[in-house]
Amino acid sequence: MSLLSVDLLDSFFKKEKETALFGRWIRLADITPVILKHEKNTSVKQIGFSEQQRPIYSIQLGTGKKKILIWSQMHGNESTGTKVIFDLLNTLTQSEAPCIQQILTTCTLQIIPMLNPDGAEVYTRVNSKKVDLNRDAVERSAIESRILRNALDTFQPDFSFNLHDQRTIFGVEGTTKPATISFLAPSEDVDRALTAGRIQTMNIIVAMNNLLQQVIPNGVGRYTDEFYPTATGDNFQKLGYNTVLIEAGHYPNDYEREMTRKYHFFALLQGIYHIAMNDDYTSYKRYFDIPNNVKNFYDVVHRYPNQTKNCVAYQYEEKIIKNKLVFDLQKVMEKQIENPLSHNEIVFDS
Ligand SMILES: [Zn+2]
């Protein structure tokens, strides 16, 4: 296991964070100038157009034998991974640190920073034809699904990273912490068999989790490995392409996901470095030490001591109103319940 130092990761993030990108609503117009900036140090290509004719880009760098494919924002309203990709690109192209040079000489990275630009434009999970791209891996009814599959077939990566965001409702089982980062090594079949490929995917996750436990102890969850027959990761894994799912989640008081962005960046760079430095990816058992991701959090809870009156819980609904992203509080539960977990709690006197 080759772990990067937290101090080094901190210094990379401070220096190379892409300041042009901030917050939750990231659209094609936000990333286009940043992509063009990278044209001088990387190979930038348009690999197709979305249903509404927005360009989809890939960015390639590195000269090594190990091939790594990374894509983000296949769900248009899940942008943390996109921010992380550009923090990573700045680091890979600017830093002369030995670990970065090691990555660039051992690996070739192909990065698709926004697979669903139409969904990103209007802040929806689905594409403009209401297709959930992460449930379209078999049928491939959407142009965007075919573009991703074509990238997979032509690049033939050794490892892939599929970057998503999860809602604030997710916590880490057995703790009182939100799931700031969650992982999954997807199953290839309904029996959730531990295939050689899946074990390799787990091995990368173990390395990322070991790093994260130093900075967000108990803040990492593991997704259910129930087989989803139409999901992207499950199908890519089944085709023999090891695919790590990363879900960016909530960090206390961080609804813009800028702290989560930092830890996501730490995890992704650690995962890539681990791939670069190792040739044996067979150790996996500590993957199952990562606690389950559970739905156990509310955004806001109003409650009374000793359950004297009903406890009322609220969840933010994210909406675009007058061209702004608004967090709109919706009541979702009212009952007698002891100490529900919430990101914001108000306890009334009686
Ligand atoms: Zn998603």
pLDDT tens per residue across span 222-281? 999 999 999 999 999 999 999 999 999 999 999 999 999 999 999 999 999 999 999 999
Give me ligand 1 centre to Cα 113, in Å.
14
State the chain's mean pLDDT as an integer: 96
Closest listed residue to residue 59, CA positions, set 108, 120, 116:
108
Give me ligand 1 centre to Cα 132, in Å.
9
Structure token pair of residue 14: 């401070």
Give me ligand 1 centre to Cα 78, in Å.
6
Give me ligand 1 centre to Cα 145, in Å.
14
> Please, where are the H alpha helices in the chain?
6-16, 28-37, 80-94, 98-106, 117-122, 143-155, 196-215, 232-238, 258-277
Give me ligand 1 centre to Cα 73, in Å.
7
- Return the minimum-mean-pLDDT range out of 16-20, 159-163, 310-314: 310-314
Cβ atoms of 159 and 275 within 8 Å: the answer is yes
Give me ligand 1 centre to Cα 81, in Å.
10
Give me ligand 1 centre to Cα 75, in Å.
5
Give me ligand 1 centre to Cα 76, in Å.
8
Give me ligand 1 centre to Cα 165, in Å.
6
Mean pLDDT in residue range 6-15? 98
Give me ligand 1 centre to Cα 168, in Å.
13
State the pLDDT at residue 18.
98
Give me ligand 1 centre to Cα 308, in Å.
39
State the pLDDT at residue 306.
79
How far apart, in Å, are the Cα atoms of 182 and each of 53, 58, 168?
A: 33, 25, 12
Query: In the chain, what percentage of residues exceed pLDDT 70?
Result: 99
Give me ligand 1 centre to Cα 200, in Å.
22
Closest listed residue to residue 277, CA positions, set 98, 88, 71:
98
- What are the extents of the domains in the chain? 6-295, 298-347
State the pLDDT at residue 350.
67
Give me ligand 1 centre to Cα 72, in Å.
9
pLDDT higher than threshold 90 for residue 50: yes
What's the maximum distance between 2 C-alpha atoms anywhere in the chain?
65
Closest listed residue to residue 201, CA positions, set 167, 236, 229, 170:
236
State the pLDDT at residue 1.
63
**What is the b/e burial string over 206-217, where b = at least 16 CB atoms within 10 angstroms of the residue's CB?**
bbbbebbeeebe
Amino acid identity for residue 53 in this structure = Q
CATH class of 6-295: alpha beta
Give me ligand 1 centre to Cα 40, in Å.
31
Structure confidence at residue 305 as a pLDDT band (50, 70, 90)? confident
Give me ligand 1 centre to Cα 306, in Å.
38
Neighbours of ion ligand 1 (CB under 5 A): 75, 78, 164
Tell me how far apart the alpha carbons of residues 287 and 327 are, in angstroms, rounded to a whole number.
34
**What sign does the dihedral 135-138-142-146 (CA atoms) show?**
positive
Burial of 78 from C-beta contacts in 10 A (0-12 / 13-18 / 19+): buried
Give me ligand 1 centre to Cα 219, in Å.
19
